[in-house]
Copies of this chain bind each other. A is one copy, B any other.
Amino acid sequence: MPIRVTVSSEFSHDKLNERVRAIYPDGMHAVMADGIREFAGDAVAVRTATLDEPEHGLTEQVLAETDVLTWWGHRAHGEVQDAIVDRVHQRVLEGMGLIVLHSGHYSKIFRKLMGTGCGLRCREAAEREILWVIDPSHPITDGLDANFQLPHTEMYGEQFQVPPPDELVFISWFEGGEVFRSGCTWRRGKGKVFYFRPGHETFPIYHDKNVRRVLANAVKWAAPASSAPYLSGAPNIKNPIMPVATKHEVDESIHR
């Protein structure tokens, strides 16, 4: 069975702005979806969801049928409904993979999962970026060389205000003197989260073959990989596995 991928994007700059529309005539999500299909082939079944659809296209049913969700947002983070954010959050804890892209660092869902501010330094000067592979064992790096370059990007610089990542996959070099942890993974509940830096809307980033390859690899990596049960809530376990020898009188009435 293929990995069921939902590519979510706010579809805003790419609708309103002529210049962005020239790069992404059908929206950024269409190009991302193509990129994933190009490099993951039959391993995936990809659909898209945009902000202006009912429930942002992320209904209970869509999420129930999604193994991996990708998230791109920028100017409209504030328009994403809190109830949908909570729904996505719950699904991640239960095992859905989540790929957060570029300016998605400031999305409600990413901040909620990280527990931090998720800030960074930025600059739009169309500068060169070189992404170095830090962890060549990681499936997300499959097919890449020791580094790859993007000729013109928006700069993101440290400090990236996230918790220390579980795995550090890429570090970026920028022409103006900054560095950035551009590929990071974290586990949250049963779900795997990958943040990938490239993706500014005014540059044709999602047409780049290395970026597309990383998207496809990330989707495969983030797909649920274990059927082991996820513990939800704080269940009261009446029956211990082993007999509890030392009994102590507890006044149950005092609690809660």
Residues of A within 8 A of B (CB): 13, 17, 19-20, 74-75, 93, 95, 106, 112-117, 119-128, 130, 132-147, 149, 151-152, 155, 157-159, 161, 163-164, 166-168, 171-179, 181, 186-192, 202, 224-238, 240-252, 254-256
| Residue pair B192, A137 in contact (C-beta under 8 Å) | yes
| Residue pair A254, B20 in contact (C-beta under 8 Å) | yes
| Residue pair B189, A116 in contact (C-beta under 8 Å) | yes
List the 10 shortest-distance A-B pairs measured between CB atoms, nearest first: A176-B240, A126-B248, A177-B241, A136-B228, A139-B225, A141-B228, A115-B115, A142-B226, A159-B231, A177-B242
Contacts of A240 in B (CB 8 A): 123, 125, 127, 155, 174-178
The 20 listed contacts between A and B (C-beta, < 8 Å) are A17-B254, A19-B254, A74-B256, A93-B117, A121-B237, A123-B237, A125-B240, A127-B244, A132-B159, A136-B230, A147-B241, A152-B246, A157-B237, A159-B230, A161-B189, A161-B232, A164-B167, A173-B174, A176-B242, A177-B242
| Residue pair A241, B116 in contact (C-beta under 8 Å) | no
| Residue pair B161, A241 in contact (C-beta under 8 Å) | no
| Residue pair A235, B192 in contact (C-beta under 8 Å) | no
Inter-chain CA distance A244–B128, complex, in Å, is 9
Inter-chain CA distance A250–B124, complex, in Å, is 8
Contacts of A95 in B (CB 8 A): 137
Tell me the minimal C-beta distance from A208 to chain B in angstroms. Answer: 15
Contacts of A227 in B (CB 8 A): 142-143
Contacts of A188 in B (CB 8 A): 115-116, 163
| Residue pair B228, A145 in contact (C-beta under 8 Å) | yes
| Residue pair A137, B225 in contact (C-beta under 8 Å) | yes
Inter-chain CA distance A231–B146, complex, in Å, is 8
| Residue pair B231, A191 in contact (C-beta under 8 Å) | no
| Residue pair A228, B152 in contact (C-beta under 8 Å) | no
In the complex, the chain B residue whose C-beta lies closest to that of A248 is B126
Inter-chain CA distance A233–B118, complex, in Å, is 8
| Residue pair B119, A232 in contact (C-beta under 8 Å) | yes
Inter-chain CA distance A177–B128, complex, in Å, is 10
Given the known interface contacts A158-B171, A241-B130, the answer about A119 and B187 at a Cβ–Cβ threshold of 8 Å is no
Interface centre among A95, A159, A166, A256 (most CB of B within 10 A): A159
